[in-house]
Each structure stands twice: as C-alpha cells, then as structure tokens.
Homo-oligomer: A and B are copies of this chain.
Amino acid sequence: MIRTGLIAEVRAVVGEERQRGKKIAIVPTMGYLHRGHLSLVEEAKRDHAFVVMSIFVNPLQFGPQEDFGRYPRDLERDSALAAEAGVDLLFNPPLEEMYPEPMLTLVEVKEIDSVLCGRSRPGHFRGVATVVTKLFNIVQPDLAYFGQKDYQQVQIIKRMVRDLNMPLDVRTVAIARAEDGLALSSRNVFLSPQQRAEAVVLNRSLEEGAAAIRGGERDARTLEELIRTRINAESSGEIDYVEVRGAADLKEVTEIEGPVVIAVAVRFGATRLIDNKVIEVGTDV
C-alpha cells in the first residue's frame, strides 16, 4: 500500500493505474476505521478497482460547537487496517494540502441538505459536498463508495453527482452493525458503558418501526411516535429527530405509500449517534 499526503503523488499514481486500464475507486473517510469502512473497501475490491482510501477529518463540515477537535484519530492503526483490507493507496493529506488558502468555493445541494441532520448541523452538508468534490477532482475515480449509515449524505452526494455530471458511479454499502445491532461509528468510542448499552435502542426501535409497517401501519406520524416512545423509555438519550421520509428524495411523508427511510439521531451526552432503515413499501403491499 502506498501512503501519501500529497495531491500530486495521488494524481501520478492513479494516472498510471488508469493508463493500465484499471478502474479507480475512492473510499472517502475521516479515519478511525471500523468494519463499516472496511466493508466499503471490500466492495471496491470485488469491483476489481484500484482502491484509494482518503482519511481526512474535514474541518469544513464541522460546526463551531461540534467535535472537530476531539474527533478520534489514529492514523497508524488506520494505516495497518487499510493495508490489510487491500487499500492500494492511502491518501491522508494535512490541512494545508487540502486548504492552502481561504476556501471561497462551496458546493451546496439545496433542499435535501436542510432536513434531518441538516437542521441541527447547518453548513455540515455543504462542507461534505465541497470536500467530496475536491476528493473526486483529485482522484478522478470511476467509482465512489459510501456507507448507508450516513443516509442523507449518500442522497446528497448522489444528487450532486447527477446535477453536476460528475463522471462516476456512487455505490452504497449496507450499514455494518455490532452483534447487538448498534450501527458502527467512529464516535461510538465516546460512549460510556451505560450509554453504549442504551444505544442499542436506536436499531431496536427502527426494527420495531419496520415491524409495524410490515404489520400494516401506514401513518408516518404514528410510526415516529412509536419509535420516539421506545427510545425515551429505554435510554437516557436525547432525541434530535425521528423521521419517516421518502427514501429517494427525503421529502416529507404522511401516508406511507412507497419506499421510505426511517432516520433517527439521538444524543448521548456530547455524542450524537445516527441510524436509519430503508423500507420498501409497494403500493400493492
């Protein structure tokens, strides 16, 4: 595995692989890798691509009150895990390589970016869309892999790619979960043992919501209330949102008639966790 923090080196290496006819894949991450990240690499390997993983904790997507400073970092461990997973090129640029001058240019995906996490994290998705555009332009990948855990992020990236005619395919990989169902997240490390135990309620309440839909429930507000009640009953977590929305466009839903996503965000102390479940409801179900 080659490891570099230099854009010019990434371009040189990737350019050679492209010339050899290799497909190029990017797996953008903020590091502190877990099995979820590694499953993205596996998927890219299955697609026979030259796999570039970026590790960059992007200040542009953190609000002033957010956890940029304390976001977990462990580059040596990440590097070993990435190499083991088959990453071909690890790109871990220093701040000044990504932002050598004040960043005047921003990429924004309106509407989809202002609901769910966008409401409590204003500017977050603009920061994500902007840095992902930079990474795409640096690596010029054919394929880009994102985890479904950040469901809204994936929808925003997909829409951005379509709207701006970016020449690549976005692939989504299912949420990796701990044995008890908790969605893997680099931020889980911040949970106290009790918070960690309580946090399983995110997945459990989503499962309960899914079961209710399978049982015939079609009212979005009733479902949200069901999930909220469960989270409040079984944890000390403070709910940021519990919402049922259209799976493709994240638009508001009242009566469930097509594919929906149930998305939740809950704070445990200073740690904010998210999870979601996509449920395919056909009109004939």
* Residues of A participating in the B interface, judged by any CB pair closer than 8 Å: 7, 11, 101, 103-112, 129-130, 133-134, 137-138, 140, 159-160, 162-167
Contacts and interface: CB of A to CB of B under 8 A. Distances in A.
Contacts of A106: 107-108, 110
A100 to B, nearest CB: 8
Most chain B CB within a 10 A radius of its CB, from A129, A162, A164: A164
Nearest to A15: B167
Contact of A137 (B101, B103, B134, B167): B167
B167 A105 contact: no
A164 B135 CA distance: 8
A163 B108 contact: no
Number of copies: 2
Contacts of A109: 104-105
Contact of A163 (B104, B129, B165, B167): B104
Contact of A104 (B130, B137, B159, B167): B159
Given A105-B163, A134-B164, A138-B165, 19 more contacts: A11-B167, A101-B162, A101-B163, A104-B109, A104-B159, A104-B163, A105-B107, A105-B109, A105-B110, A105-B129, A105-B159, A105-B160, A105-B164, A106-B108, A107-B108, A107-B164, A134-B163, A137-B165, A140-B167
A108 B103 CA distance: 11
A119 B7 CA distance: 35
Contacts of A164: 105, 107, 130, 133-134, 137
A105 B138 CA distance: 20
A111 B106 CA distance: 12
Contacts of A103: 163
Contacts of A11: 167
A105 B106 CA distance: 10
Most chain B CB within a 10 A radius of its CB, from A11, A107, A166: A107
5 contacts: A7-B165, A101-B162, A105-B108, A106-B108, A106-B110
